[in-house]
Structure formats: structure tokens, C-alpha cells
């Protein structure tokens, strides 16, 4: 299926989901759905660098938080429509992603991972100390009740849901397109054996920089609408560890070698967490995520998608 057709299918599915939810009128579904879509975007973005290239990024929260605080900055400085903010966040985080890559991509995989963690904390500390965006006191974002779209008037949360749907679709389409092009082959060769890749002519540094820039930009886009979603933003929630662990756990549990894995992981794990938060507690749901991550990493390294693929192969051989 060509990229164009795939995009159309995604848009169609998205439209169906949205219209269905709107007609059923269950507000909570949009809140929960927003969170899940956010994770779809974050997981797909993480997987571009982590799954395709094999470079583990522990600092997803940094880009997410940076995207969120870009929004806060403009809210205080000069309010802009959210789609514009998403684009700005993409640019800012893309640049930061490029910079981080340039400083750290010459390092071995383990050092790179630690450096990303360090970066996340440094960014968080900078934001905590930056009073203009509220610092550790936090920032309030006031939002409208309803938003006019094509003559209809929809709830604000539905508007946010649509925006996040758009961001997720962009992330998925980019993720899938990469996998089917020369870039995807290059990434895979870096993951399999970077030294051999370099020796066979793959410009490894350049490709890795592309991956960090894209990955960072997409994560920033996922973070941009967050302040409007949550209403009151504190550094601890924007840079929270749950974003870091989920953006790693979801692709690993879903499967890191394709674009589908992160989506599957995000939808399954995201839904599970929503249910657990509501029925038990939010701490328990994080515990479940952690346990699942450990279990899958040890037992099923290729994630759920990998398990399904193995099943299909075994069935075909019969």
C-alpha cells in the first residue's frame, strides 16, 4: 500500500473513531483517548531512534516536556493557535534533538543512553528555575469551553483529541515510510552492526542525526497540546518519569522492528493503564508497566508483534 493510500486509511479510521465518540457523547473516552493517542505518538517517535537504530533514549520526557513548555512560553508571551504551537514545538525539539545527537552520538550505545537521561534532568532543572514559565510553582492555562470547527461547535477536549489524532497519524506515517525506504535499511544496518554499516558505506552519523532530530521533533509535537489538556502544568508532570518509561515500554512490549509494534503497545498498555488508574491507583498501574517491561524484555524480545509473526511463520510451515 503506498504511503498516500495508507495516510488516507489512517485519516478515515481516525474520522470514524472521532465521529463515533462524538455521537455516543461519553466525555471521558476523549480524555482517555487523548492520553492513548499521545502514547501512540511518543512510542512511534521513540521507536525511530530506539527500535530502528538501536539507540536507547531515556530522555523522552525531556522532549515531551520541552514541547509542553514551548506552549506555556507562548501562552504567556503571545497566545497562538495550538496547530501553530505544534509546529513550533516540532522545530524547537527538532533542533534540540539535533544538538543532543551531535554531542552524544559518537558515544557507545550505553553512554548515549545515559547522556539522554542526563539531558532530561538538565532540561527539567532549567525549566524549574525559569520563573517566566512559572518554574516550580507551575503555570495555569485557561482554555475555551467549545471550539468552532467547520460550522460545528465541539467540546474543547474533542478538539484536543482531533489534534492529537493528527499528530499520531503523522508519527505513524513517518515511521512506516522510513521503514520502507533506503533510510530504513540504513537504520537497520546501524542497529545490527554499526561498525560494519560504516565499513559498507552507510553514513552512520548523518543517519543517526536524522533519527534524533525526527524523534525529538515528533515527541515535542506530542507534548505541545499537553498544557491545554491538563490546565495546570508543573515541571514534575511535564517531565514525569512515566513518559520516559512508557515510551520505552510500549515499543518493546509491542515490538520494535516495525511501525505497528509501538502502536499496538501504546493502545494496549495505554488502555490497561487507564483502567488500572481508575479502578486501582495510578501507582499500581506504573508497577504493572514496569513488570510487563521486564517480563517482555526477558521472554519476548521482539514484543507482541514478534510473537504473532513467529506464530504465523510456524503456521505457514505446516
Partner 1 sequence: MDLQVELLINAVVAGLLLGGFYAAVTAGVSISFGMLDIVNIAHPAFISLGSYIAYIVNIQFGVDPIVVSIVMLPAFYLLGDAIYRVYYLSFEKRGQESLRGLAFFFGLLFVTEVTLILTFGVDYRYVEASYIGPSLHLGYVDFPLRMLVPCVTALVMFGALHLFVTRTFTGRAIMAVSQDQLALQLMAADPIRIKRIAFGISIATTAIAGALLIIIQPVEPSVGREYIGRVFAICVLGGLGSLPGTLIAAMLLGVMESITATFYGPSWAPAVSFGFLLLTLAFRPAGLFGR
Partner 2 sequence: MSPLLHVSNISKRFGGFVALDGIELEVQQGERLGLIGPNGSGKSTLVNCICGTLQNEQGAVHFDGAAMDGLAAHQRTHRGLARTFQLPRPFHSMTLADNIRIPMLFTAHKRSGPLHADSVDARCVELLRLVGLHDKARQMPRDLTQVEMRKLELARAVAAEPKLLIADESMAGLSHSEIDDILALLRQLNERGITIILIEHIMSAVMSFSQRLAVLVTGKKIADGKPEDVVRNPEVVRAYLGE
310 binds partner 2 (CB under 8 A): no
Q: Which of 9, 26, 107, 230 binds partner 1 (CB under 8 A)?
A: 107
Residue in 218, 161, 212, 172 with CA at minimum distance from that of residue 18? 161
Strand partners, 233: 139
Three-state secondary-structure class, residue 181: coil
List Cα–Cα distances, 283 to 145, 274, 279, 288, in angstroms. 31, 12, 12, 9
113 binds partner 1 (CB under 8 A): yes
Instruction: Map residues 206-245 to x or -, x wherever contact with partner 2 holds by CB under 8 A.
Output: ----------------------------------------
Q: Which of 121, 196, 230, 275 binds partner 1 (CB under 8 A)?
A: 121
Task: Give min distance, CB of 195 to partner 2, in A.
Answer: 7
Q: Which of 11, 114, 267, 268 binds partner 1 (CB under 8 A)?
A: 114
Instruction: Map residues 240-279 to x or -, x wherever contact with partner 2 holds by CB under 8 A.
Output: -----------------x----------------------
Task: Give min distance, CB of 317 to partner 1, in A.
Answer: 23
Number of residues interacting with partner 2: please give it, by CB under 8 A.
20
Nearer Cβ to partner 1 (70/285): 285
Q: Please identify, among the stretches 15-23, 56-64, 182-190, 223-231, the one whose residues bind partner 2 according to the rule CB under 8 A.
A: 182-190
Burial 264-275 (b: 16+ CB within 10 A, else e): bbbbbbbeebbe
C-alpha to C-alpha distance for 51 and 250, rounded to whole angstroms: 11
290 contact choice in partner 1, partner 2, none (CB below 5 to 8 Å, kind-dependent): partner 1
Nearer Cβ to partner 2 (57/302): 302
Q: Is 18 exposed, middle or buried (0-12, 13-18, 19+ CB in 10 A)?
A: middle
Task: Give min distance, CB of 241 to partner 2, in A.
Answer: 30
Count of Cβ atoms closer than 10 Å to residue 3 Cβ: 13
Three-state secondary-structure class, residue 148: strand
Residue in 299, 216, 273, 308 with CA at minimum distance from that of residue 35? 273
204 contact choice in partner 2, partner 1, none (CB below 5 to 8 Å, kind-dependent): partner 2
Number of residues interacting with partner 1: please give it, by CB under 8 A.
41
Task: Give min distance, CB of 125 to partner 2, in A.
Answer: 35
The phi, psi pair for 2, rounded to 5°, reads: -70, 160
**CB 41, CB 246: distance < 8 Å:** no
C-alpha to C-alpha distance for 252 and 51, rounded to whole angstroms: 8
**CB 83, CB 289: distance < 8 Å:** no
**CB 61, CB 244: distance < 8 Å:** yes
245 binds partner 1 (CB under 8 A): yes
C-alpha to C-alpha distance for 172 and 39, rounded to whole angstroms: 12
Q: Please identify, among the stretches 62-70, 170-178, 180-188, 215-223, the one whose residues bind partner 2 according to the rule CB under 8 A.
A: 180-188
Count of Cβ atoms closer than 10 Å to residue 21 Cβ: 16
Q: Which residues bind partner 2 (CB under 8 A)?
A: 182, 185-186, 188-189, 191-193, 195-205, 257
Q: Which residues bind partner 1 (CB under 8 A)?
A: 50, 54, 56, 58, 103-104, 107, 109-111, 113-115, 117-119, 121-122, 125-126, 128-129, 136, 241, 245, 248-249, 252, 256, 283-284, 286-287, 289-291, 293-294, 297-298, 301
Amino acid at each position: 500500500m503506498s504511503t498516500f493510500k495508507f495516510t488516507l486509511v489512517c485519516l478515515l479510521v481516525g474520522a470514524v473513531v472521532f465521529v463515533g465518540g462524538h455521537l455516543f457523547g461519553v466525555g471521558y473516552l476523549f480524555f482517555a483517548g487523548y492520553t492513548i493517542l499521545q502514547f501512540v505518538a511518543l512510542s512511534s517517535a521513540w521507536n525511530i531512534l530506539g527500535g530502528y537504530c538501536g539507540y536507547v533514549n531515556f530522555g523522552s520526557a525531556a522532549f515531551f516536556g520541552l514541547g509542553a513548555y514551548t506552549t506555556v512560553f507562548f501562552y504567556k508571551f503571545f497566545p497562538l493557535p495550538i496547530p501553530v504551537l505544534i509546529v513550533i514545538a516540532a522545530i524547537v525539539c527538532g533542533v534540540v534533538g539535533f544538538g543532543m545527537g551531535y554531542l552524544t552520538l559518537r558515544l557507545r550505545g550505553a553512554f548515549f543512553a545515559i547522556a539522554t537521561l542526563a539531558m532530561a534532568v538538565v532540561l527539567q532543572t532549567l525549566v524549574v528555575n525559569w520563573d517566566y514559565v512559572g518554574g516550580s510553582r507551575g503555570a495555569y492555562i485557561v482554555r475555551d469551553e467549545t471550539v468552532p470547527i467547520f460550522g460545528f461547535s465541539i467540546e474543547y477536549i474533542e478538539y484536543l483529541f482531533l489534534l492529537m489524532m493528527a499528530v499520531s497519524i503523522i508519527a505513524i506515517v513517518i515511521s512506516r515510510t522510513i521503514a520502507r525506504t533506503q533510510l530504513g535499511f540504513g537504520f537497520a544496518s546501524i542497529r545490527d552492526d554499526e561498525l560494519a554499516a560504516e565499513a559498507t558505506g552507510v553514513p552512520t552519523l548523518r543517519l543517526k542525526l536524522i533519527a534524533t532530530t525526527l524523534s525529538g521533533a515528533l515527541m515535542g509535537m506530542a507534548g505541545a497540546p499537553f498544557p491545554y489538556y491538563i490546565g495546570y502544568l508543573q515541571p514534575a508532570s511535564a517531565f514525569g518519569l512515566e513518559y520516559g518509561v512508557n515510551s520505552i515500554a510500549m515499543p518493546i512490549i509491542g515490538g520494535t522492528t516495525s511501525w505497528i509494534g509501538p502502536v499496538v503497545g501504546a493502545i494496549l498498555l495505554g488502555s490497561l493503564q487507564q483502567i488500572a488508574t481508575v479502578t486501582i491507583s495510578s501507582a499500581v498501574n506504573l508497577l504493572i508497566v514496569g513488570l510487563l517491561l521486564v517480563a517482555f524484555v526477558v521472554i519476548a524480545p521482539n514484543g507482541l508483534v514478534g510473537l504473532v509473526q513467529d506464530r504465523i511463520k510456524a503456521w505457514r510451515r505446516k
